[in-house]
Amino acid sequence: MPSPQLWVVSLGTVPYADALELQRSVAAQRISGEVSEDVLLLMEHPPVVTLGRSTRNANLTASPELLKARGVELFEVERGGDVTFHGPGQLVGYPIIDLKRHKEDLHWYLRTVEQALIDTLEALGIAAGRNTGYTGVWTGGKKIASIGVHARDWVTWHGFALNVTTDLSYFDLMVPCGIPDVTMTSVARELSPSSMTVSKVGDVAARAFARLLSLEPVYFDEWPTHPAPTNRARER
Protein backbone atom coordinates (compact mmCIF):
# COMPACT_ATOMS: atom_id res chain seq x y z
CA MET A 1 0.00 0.00 0.00
CA PRO A 2 1.34 3.48 -0.83
CA SER A 3 2.14 5.72 2.12
CA PRO A 4 -0.49 8.34 3.02
CA GLN A 5 0.57 11.73 1.68
CA LEU A 6 0.64 15.37 2.66
CA TRP A 7 0.07 17.53 -0.42
CA VAL A 8 2.16 20.65 0.16
CA VAL A 9 0.91 23.44 -2.11
CA SER A 10 3.11 26.57 -2.19
CA LEU A 11 1.11 29.41 -3.71
CA GLY A 12 3.20 32.55 -3.21
CA THR A 13 1.22 35.71 -2.44
CA VAL A 14 -2.56 35.22 -2.45
CA PRO A 15 -5.26 37.78 -1.56
CA TYR A 16 -6.94 36.72 1.66
CA ALA A 17 -10.43 36.44 0.13
CA ASP A 18 -9.13 34.05 -2.55
CA ALA A 19 -7.26 31.98 0.02
CA LEU A 20 -10.35 31.72 2.21
CA GLU A 21 -12.43 30.52 -0.73
CA LEU A 22 -9.76 27.99 -1.71
CA GLN A 23 -9.33 26.47 1.73
CA ARG A 24 -13.08 26.18 2.24
CA SER A 25 -13.35 24.46 -1.14
CA VAL A 26 -10.47 22.07 -0.41
CA ALA A 27 -11.90 21.30 3.04
CA ALA A 28 -15.28 20.48 1.50
CA GLN A 29 -13.56 18.17 -0.99
CA ARG A 30 -11.59 16.53 1.81
CA ILE A 31 -14.83 15.96 3.76
CA SER A 32 -16.53 14.45 0.69
CA GLY A 33 -13.54 12.29 -0.17
CA GLU A 34 -12.95 13.97 -3.53
CA VAL A 35 -9.52 14.95 -2.20
CA SER A 36 -8.00 11.72 -0.95
CA GLU A 37 -5.00 13.08 0.97
CA ASP A 38 -4.28 15.66 3.66
CA VAL A 39 -3.23 19.08 2.38
CA LEU A 40 -0.99 21.91 3.58
CA LEU A 41 -1.52 25.21 1.75
CA LEU A 42 1.42 27.61 2.19
CA MET A 43 1.31 31.26 1.18
CA GLU A 44 1.72 34.92 2.04
CA HIS A 45 -1.05 37.55 2.08
CA PRO A 46 -1.19 41.25 1.33
CA PRO A 47 -1.80 43.13 4.61
CA VAL A 48 -4.99 41.92 6.29
CA VAL A 49 -6.47 41.79 9.79
CA THR A 50 -8.69 38.83 10.63
CA LEU A 51 -11.13 38.58 13.50
CA GLY A 52 -11.73 35.12 14.96
CA ARG A 53 -14.76 33.91 16.90
CA SER A 54 -13.28 35.06 20.23
CA THR A 55 -12.43 38.60 19.14
CA ARG A 56 -13.45 41.41 21.46
CA ASN A 57 -14.08 44.69 19.69
CA ALA A 58 -11.66 46.52 21.98
CA ASN A 59 -8.78 44.34 20.76
CA LEU A 60 -8.83 45.98 17.33
CA THR A 61 -7.51 49.37 18.34
CA ALA A 62 -7.14 50.86 14.85
CA SER A 63 -10.01 52.73 13.24
CA PRO A 64 -11.35 51.72 9.81
CA GLU A 65 -9.76 54.93 8.49
CA LEU A 66 -6.33 53.96 9.81
CA LEU A 67 -6.61 50.43 8.41
CA LYS A 68 -7.51 51.88 5.02
CA ALA A 69 -4.64 54.36 5.17
CA ARG A 70 -2.19 51.50 5.77
CA GLY A 71 -3.75 49.38 3.03
CA VAL A 72 -5.03 46.72 5.43
CA GLU A 73 -8.14 44.68 4.64
CA LEU A 74 -10.44 43.38 7.41
CA PHE A 75 -12.23 40.00 7.57
CA GLU A 76 -14.37 38.23 10.13
CA VAL A 77 -13.83 34.47 9.90
CA GLU A 78 -14.96 31.24 11.53
CA ARG A 79 -11.62 30.23 13.07
CA GLY A 80 -11.03 30.17 16.78
CA GLY A 81 -8.95 32.82 18.48
CA ASP A 82 -8.90 36.60 18.55
CA VAL A 83 -7.63 39.34 16.23
CA THR A 84 -4.40 38.87 14.28
CA PHE A 85 -2.47 40.20 11.31
CA HIS A 86 -1.30 38.54 8.09
CA GLY A 87 1.02 40.21 5.64
CA PRO A 88 4.14 40.08 3.48
CA GLY A 89 7.07 38.27 5.04
CA GLN A 90 4.82 35.96 7.05
CA LEU A 91 4.46 32.25 6.37
CA VAL A 92 0.75 31.45 6.51
CA GLY A 93 -0.18 27.78 6.52
CA TYR A 94 -3.59 26.19 6.18
CA PRO A 95 -3.42 22.48 7.08
CA ILE A 96 -6.54 20.71 5.78
CA ILE A 97 -6.28 17.50 7.75
CA ASP A 98 -8.79 14.69 8.19
CA LEU A 99 -8.40 13.98 11.89
CA LYS A 100 -10.36 10.75 11.50
CA ARG A 101 -7.14 9.39 9.99
CA HIS A 102 -5.06 10.63 12.89
CA LYS A 103 -6.81 11.40 16.18
CA GLU A 104 -10.27 12.88 16.71
CA ASP A 105 -9.07 15.44 19.22
CA LEU A 106 -8.77 19.16 18.45
CA HIS A 107 -6.57 19.79 21.49
CA TRP A 108 -4.15 17.14 20.23
CA TYR A 109 -4.26 18.78 16.81
CA LEU A 110 -3.49 22.25 18.19
CA ARG A 111 -0.54 20.87 20.14
CA THR A 112 0.66 19.10 16.97
CA VAL A 113 0.56 22.36 14.98
CA GLU A 114 2.49 24.06 17.76
CA GLN A 115 5.05 21.26 17.82
CA ALA A 116 5.55 21.42 14.06
CA LEU A 117 6.34 25.13 14.36
CA ILE A 118 8.58 24.57 17.38
CA ASP A 119 10.48 21.92 15.39
CA THR A 120 10.68 24.29 12.40
CA LEU A 121 12.18 27.06 14.50
CA GLU A 122 14.60 24.66 16.18
CA ALA A 123 15.83 23.63 12.72
CA LEU A 124 16.44 27.32 11.99
CA GLY A 125 18.40 27.80 15.21
CA ILE A 126 15.67 29.44 17.31
CA ALA A 127 14.73 27.92 20.67
CA ALA A 128 10.94 28.12 20.90
CA GLY A 129 8.17 26.63 22.97
CA ARG A 130 4.67 27.05 24.37
CA ASN A 131 3.33 29.61 26.82
CA THR A 132 1.02 28.02 29.37
CA GLY A 133 -2.55 29.17 28.95
CA TYR A 134 -2.09 30.45 25.38
CA THR A 135 -2.18 28.90 21.95
CA GLY A 136 0.76 29.66 19.67
CA VAL A 137 4.55 29.54 19.73
CA TRP A 138 6.90 31.75 21.71
CA THR A 139 10.62 32.45 21.99
CA GLY A 140 12.29 34.38 24.79
CA GLY A 141 8.92 35.55 26.12
CA LYS A 142 7.87 36.94 22.71
CA LYS A 143 5.27 35.50 20.37
CA ILE A 144 6.54 34.41 16.97
CA ALA A 145 3.64 32.34 15.63
CA SER A 146 -0.15 32.49 15.99
CA ILE A 147 -2.63 29.66 15.50
CA GLY A 148 -6.38 29.64 14.91
CA VAL A 149 -8.27 26.66 13.50
CA HIS A 150 -11.72 25.50 12.54
CA ALA A 151 -13.02 21.99 11.89
CA ARG A 152 -16.11 20.29 10.50
CA ASP A 153 -16.61 16.53 10.32
CA TRP A 154 -13.11 16.31 11.85
CA VAL A 155 -11.56 18.06 8.85
CA THR A 156 -9.54 21.15 9.76
CA TRP A 157 -8.92 24.43 8.01
CA HIS A 158 -7.50 27.86 8.86
CA GLY A 159 -4.16 27.36 10.59
CA PHE A 160 -1.00 29.26 11.54
CA ALA A 161 0.98 32.40 10.84
CA LEU A 162 4.74 32.37 11.45
CA ASN A 163 6.52 35.73 11.32
CA VAL A 164 9.60 35.42 9.12
CA THR A 165 10.47 38.90 7.80
CA THR A 166 7.15 40.48 8.77
CA ASP A 167 6.85 44.22 9.40
CA LEU A 168 5.94 43.90 13.07
CA SER A 169 4.61 47.46 13.29
CA TYR A 170 1.31 46.19 11.86
CA PHE A 171 0.67 44.46 15.19
CA ASP A 172 0.44 47.93 16.76
CA LEU A 173 -3.01 48.18 15.15
CA MET A 174 -4.42 45.68 17.65
CA VAL A 175 -3.98 43.72 20.83
CA PRO A 176 -2.47 40.69 19.07
CA CYS A 177 -4.49 37.54 19.75
CA GLY A 178 -6.19 39.46 22.55
CA ILE A 179 -3.13 39.12 24.81
CA PRO A 180 -2.36 42.37 26.67
CA ASP A 181 1.26 43.57 26.59
CA VAL A 182 2.37 40.78 24.24
CA THR A 183 5.53 41.45 22.23
CA MET A 184 5.64 40.02 18.73
CA THR A 185 8.85 38.90 17.08
CA SER A 186 10.03 37.26 13.87
CA VAL A 187 12.63 34.86 12.52
CA ALA A 188 14.54 37.80 11.03
CA ARG A 189 14.58 39.65 14.35
CA GLU A 190 15.68 36.60 16.35
CA LEU A 191 18.39 35.57 13.87
CA SER A 192 19.53 39.03 12.75
CA PRO A 193 21.27 39.11 10.38
CA SER A 194 19.31 36.37 8.61
CA SER A 195 19.03 35.10 5.04
CA MET A 196 15.80 33.24 5.76
CA THR A 197 12.93 33.70 3.30
CA VAL A 198 9.30 32.68 3.60
CA SER A 199 9.86 30.02 0.94
CA LYS A 200 12.82 28.48 2.77
CA VAL A 201 10.96 28.43 6.08
CA GLY A 202 7.94 26.92 4.33
CA ASP A 203 10.05 23.98 3.14
CA VAL A 204 11.24 23.33 6.69
CA ALA A 205 7.71 23.63 8.10
CA ALA A 206 6.28 21.24 5.50
CA ARG A 207 8.79 18.57 6.46
CA ALA A 208 8.02 19.07 10.15
CA PHE A 209 4.27 18.69 9.59
CA ALA A 210 4.72 15.61 7.42
CA ARG A 211 7.00 13.98 9.97
CA LEU A 212 4.69 14.58 12.94
CA LEU A 213 1.64 13.33 11.02
CA SER A 214 3.54 10.33 9.60
CA LEU A 215 2.81 11.44 6.03
CA GLU A 216 4.88 11.51 2.83
CA PRO A 217 5.17 15.08 1.53
CA VAL A 218 4.38 15.68 -2.15
CA TYR A 219 4.94 19.19 -3.44
CA PHE A 220 2.92 21.37 -5.83
CA ASP A 221 3.36 24.94 -7.07
CA GLU A 222 -0.40 25.36 -7.60
CA TRP A 223 -3.57 23.66 -6.53
CA PRO A 224 -3.99 20.88 -9.12
CA THR A 225 -7.03 21.20 -11.39
CA HIS A 226 -7.67 17.52 -10.81
CA PRO A 227 -6.97 16.79 -7.14
CA ALA A 228 -4.36 14.06 -7.54
CA PRO A 229 -0.56 14.07 -7.70
CA THR A 230 0.65 14.78 -11.26
CA ASN A 231 3.93 15.52 -12.96
CA ARG A 232 3.69 19.00 -11.44
CA ALA A 233 4.55 17.41 -8.12
CA ARG A 234 8.24 17.70 -7.33
CA GLU A 235 10.48 15.97 -4.87
CA ARG A 236 12.44 17.96 -2.32
Helix/strand/coil (H/E/C) assignment for every residue in 162-199:
EECCCCHHHHHHECHHHCCCCCECCHHHHHCCCCCCHH
d(CA 42, CA 186): 17
Residue 111, SS3 per DSSP: helix
d(CA 79, CA 72): 19
Q: Residue 75: which pLDDT band, with cuts at 50, 70 and 90? A: confident
Nearest to 151 by CA among 18, 31, 19, 15: 31
Provide the domain limits for residue 67.
5-220
> For residue 88, is pLDDT > 60?
yes
Residue 90, in any domain of the structure: yes
Q: Which whole number is the average pLDDT over 1-29?
A: 93
Backbone angles phi, psi at 180, to 5 degrees: -60, 140
For 140, left (φ over 0), alpha (ψ -120 to 50), or beta? left
Residue 206, in any domain of the structure: yes
Q: DSSP letters of 201-227? A: HHHHHHHHHHHHTT-EEEEESS--SSS
Residue 235, in any domain of the structure: no
Residue 234, in any domain of the structure: no
* Higher per-residue confidence, 39 vs 56: 39
> For residue 235, is pLDDT > 50?
no
pTM comes to 0.91
d(CA 218, CA 145): 24
| Catalytic site includes residue 101 | no
Residue 81, in any domain of the structure: yes
Residue 229, in any domain of the structure: no
Question: Residues 91, 117, 173, 177: which is the catalytic one?
Answer: 177
Residue 106, SS3 per DSSP: helix
What total number of domains does the chain contain? 1
Residue 233, in any domain of the structure: no
Residue 225, in any domain of the structure: no
pLDDT given at position 192: 80
CATH number (domain holding residue 127): 3.30.930.10
pLDDT given at position 59: 83
d(CA 96, CA 41): 8
